[in-house]
Amino acid sequence: MHTNHISSPILFLSTILIISCHTNSFSKTYDSSNYAKYLLESDSHLPDTSDLKFDFPQIDVIGNKPSLYNTIPGSATLINNQLLNNMKALTGNEVFKKIPGLNIVDEEGLGLRANIGIRGLDPDRSRTVLMMEDGIPIALAPYGEPEMYYTPAIDRMSKIEVLKGSGSILFGPQTIGGVINYITSDPPLDSKTILNFRYGNGGFFSGLLNYGTTIGNAGVQATLLHKQADNLGITNFDVNDFSAKIKFGLGESSRIGLKLSYYDETSNSTYLGMTQNMYDNREYFTVMAPNDKLEIRRFSASLTHDYFISTSAYIRTTVFGYTTTRNWLRQDFSRSRNSSNLTGIMFGDSSIANGAVFMRNSTGNRDRQFEVFGVEPRLNHSYAFLNFQNELIGGARFLYEKAFEQRINGKKANAVSGDLIDDEERIGYAGSAFLQNKLFFSDQFSLTPGLRFEYFEFERRISRIGSKDTLLVGKSYTTSLIPGIGLNFNLNDNYTFFAGVHRGYAPPRVKDAISNSGQSLELDAEFSWNYEIGLRANLFSLIGIEFTSYLLDFSNQIIPVSESSGGLGTGLVNGGATFHKGLELGVDLSLDNLFETRYSVFLDWNISYNHAKYDSDRFITVGSSQVNVKENKLPYAPEFLSSLLINLQTPFNFQLNFSGTFVGEQYTDELNTIIPSPDGQIGMMNSYVVLDLNAKYHMESLGSSIFISVKNLTDERYIASRRPQGIKVGIPRMITAGLELSF
């Protein structure tokens, strides 16, 4: 039987309301959320459409005004452009590691693939997180295949929004872990050009050209990015990335925003990792499959129209579409020397069972293409009812997605063509409706109930399987109601209390819900109850604190066993009941406010504790016996995560930025195996610390900056992942230097 840790979500919220109603002090709030030092102050709670007309029309998760933090029903983090510039991050992973509760798994060390787990959820391909760019989903197929193979480049981002509370039900379909929204730069009011060049070891080069201007009621912003590397660790890649935003007004009450983007990547990304004895022998950067090649090409477009009904109401309608091609050549290999068609190339120790990798003279080409189209109107309305202010957000969305998948087996180690083994299509139609009303009982106390409805109808059409032509069709559908409610209460000038509860939801992947025989497995959507309670505080105008306690209670968490997650095949399994509980603490300290000095010293420290476990009887076959994994910890869910960031700015335009990240030990399988397996896929992953250092000097008269960055300052060697097929180590020490021109 599943242990019911929280007997009733209504009882939980009622307790919160009783506590809130017995506190009478109402006064103006102060925003003390993480990174608030970099933001401007604002007193307004509700959106003013006169301000919105100057912004690019797109969907924000948090918004631009820091005072909105104190009305968001749940924990949230906004990382703005100044902090991104200070960090000089090579990858988005470096940024996400600075956010409480986020576990980042580096697949190749360069952030080409995002593997993000929130609060103990499985980080594999960020399946449990809703990933968006400028408010639009970016996964391969948001409902049926929410994997992150395309990851937006951090180089062209101006902000990152992260929302983990009940407010996430405004966005979907994923509402379990949270929402991450990449925000690109908007057209500036004045003409501005930015050139950024960066060089580093391993043949690394990055070049960015950014131009924007506004003429009359029309604005344009375009960014061209090229990145490449010859040999960083074991990875080489070539990326071209272009995006453009165009906005223009249509009279006093209407405006349009158009965004176009193109992404092209070729890399030697591979699933194959080291065996345990290779790691023990320090063969950290051995290229085992030099012919492996991943090609990703993505086109996307969106059109957003804002119609301002009045000064307090507007309708935002977004039409979007994108197509992603993901073709992956992967050389075959075996763990046995007796396999056929071997090349004679071997890695590891063949005297140990499963301790060696034998390369085969054949390939498996996994070629996939995805098409996504959606339309979403949203109404934003600020109104008064019974002398109370309200903010209503409501809307609906229709989304169509289609996936084409083929597997082609080649007969040479670098063959991209050969025998067609599998061929299928997966089609999905999704409809959703959502409504959230924020009720301000006063300037200090707001209550935010919300409801989301999801309908997903999907079909799998298999025309070839195992080299045999066939016609297998399976269909199914799911419907779900997703409620949520949160509150914000400002105790006084220095303390803000927030709490919430919402239903976590994730639709089943189409390939898993319908079997290879075309039979509907009736795999239900994934559900959880997510609870949050926290406090934001500002102490003596020196220290900003955000403290959050949370619970995630799954009646049945779906556990991935796909190749990307280290499984033997593709698919998901019922993981049974799981339970996550944890604490998150963020502290901001402005030391220059403590001492009268011309130097600016800012410190940000985050620490997260998470205990994620199997919470019901679940038996795993080990040899001839059955092992119950109840109370075992979930794989890839470290108990402790922490980060430290120190930023020093001098009066002579020199800036120094130091950061460190700690990742605690973690298990990699359900049995919580400590001793590593010879193939390297199972075993305890030890804790590690990574330090980064950035220095920048700004030449104001020339409008330019020079900078140097050292990633992994101590050249730490650590296991970043044992997935999918062996050990991947973290990127070695990397030194880059660059020049940024702005005019």
pLDDT at 193: 95
Instruction: Kindly report which listed range (32-36, 513-517, 724-728) carries the lowest average pLDDT score.
Output: 32-36
The CA distance from 453 to 52, in Å, is 28
484-511 per-position pLDDT tens digit: 999 999 888 788 899 999 998 888 777 7
pLDDT for 35 beyond 70: no
The CA distance from 35 to 590, in Å, is 11
pLDDT at 49: 47
CB count in 10 Å sphere of residue 217:
12
Tell me whether strands 625-628 and 178-184 are parallel, antiparallel or unpaired.
unpaired
pLDDT at 618: 81
pLDDT at 507: 84
pLDDT at 425: 95
pLDDT at 58: 85
593-633 per-position pLDDT tens digit: 677 777 888 899 999 999 999 988 888 888 888 999 899 99
pLDDT at 53: 52
Residue 36 pLDDT class (50, 70, 90 cuts): very low
527-570 per-position pLDDT tens digit: 889 999 999 888 877 888 999 999 999 876 665 554 555 554 44
151-184 per-position pLDDT tens digit: 999 999 999 999 988 888 899 898 888 999 999 9
pLDDT for 12 beyond 60: no
pLDDT at 518: 62
pLDDT at 575: 56
Contact 550, 531 (CB under 8 A): yes
Arithmetic mean of pLDDT, 401-427: 95
Residue 48 pLDDT class (50, 70, 90 cuts): very low
pLDDT for 574 beyond 80: no
pLDDT at 45: 39
Q: 18, 300, 9: which is closest to 139 by C-alpha?
A: 300
pLDDT at 367: 96
pLDDT for 9 beyond 90: no
Ordered structural domains, the chain, with CATH? 9-742 (2.40.170.20)
Contact 237, 228 (CB under 8 A): yes
The CA distance from 537 to 543, in Å, is 8
Residue 675 pLDDT class (50, 70, 90 cuts): very high
pLDDT for 6 beyond 70: no
pLDDT at 523: 63
**Token code pair at residue 114:** 């995002």
624-672 per-position pLDDT tens digit: 889 998 999 999 999 999 999 999 999 899 999 999 999 999 999 989 9
Q: 380, 497, 383, 392: which is closest to 445 by C-alpha?
A: 497
pLDDT at 519: 62
Tell me whether strands 572-574 and 704-711 are parallel, antiparallel or unpaired.
unpaired
Higher pLDDT, 430 or 578: 430
**Residue 60 CB-density burial (10 A; 0-12 exposed, 13-18 middle, 19+ buried):** middle
The phi and psi torsions of 127 (rounded to 5 degrees) equal -65, -30
Cα-based distances in Å from 25 to 265, 284, 444: 56, 59, 9
Arithmetic mean of pLDDT, 376-395: 94
User: How high is the mean pLDDT of the chain?
Assistant: 86
The phi and psi torsions of 495 (rounded to 5 degrees) equal -135, 130
Cα-based distances in Å from 649 to 542, 625, 658, 697: 17, 62, 12, 10
Q: 518, 527, 448: which is closest to 484 by C-alpha?
A: 448
Cα-based distances in Å from 68 to 44, 52, 184, 186: 8, 15, 20, 20
Residue 246 pLDDT class (50, 70, 90 cuts): very high
Helix, strand, coil % (nearest 5) of the chain? 10, 55, 35
DSSP designation for 334: E
320-353 per-position pLDDT tens digit: 999 999 999 999 999 999 999 999 999 999 999 9
DSSP designation for 725: B
263-311 per-position pLDDT tens digit: 999 999 999 999 999 999 999 999 999 999 999 999 999 999 999 999 8
Instruction: Kindly report which listed range (23-32, 103-112, 185-194) carries the lowest average pLDDT score.
Output: 23-32
204-227 per-position pLDDT tens digit: 999 999 999 999 889 999 999 999
| Max Cα-Cα span within the chain | 80
460-491 per-position pLDDT tens digit: 999 999 889 998 888 888 899 999 999 999 88
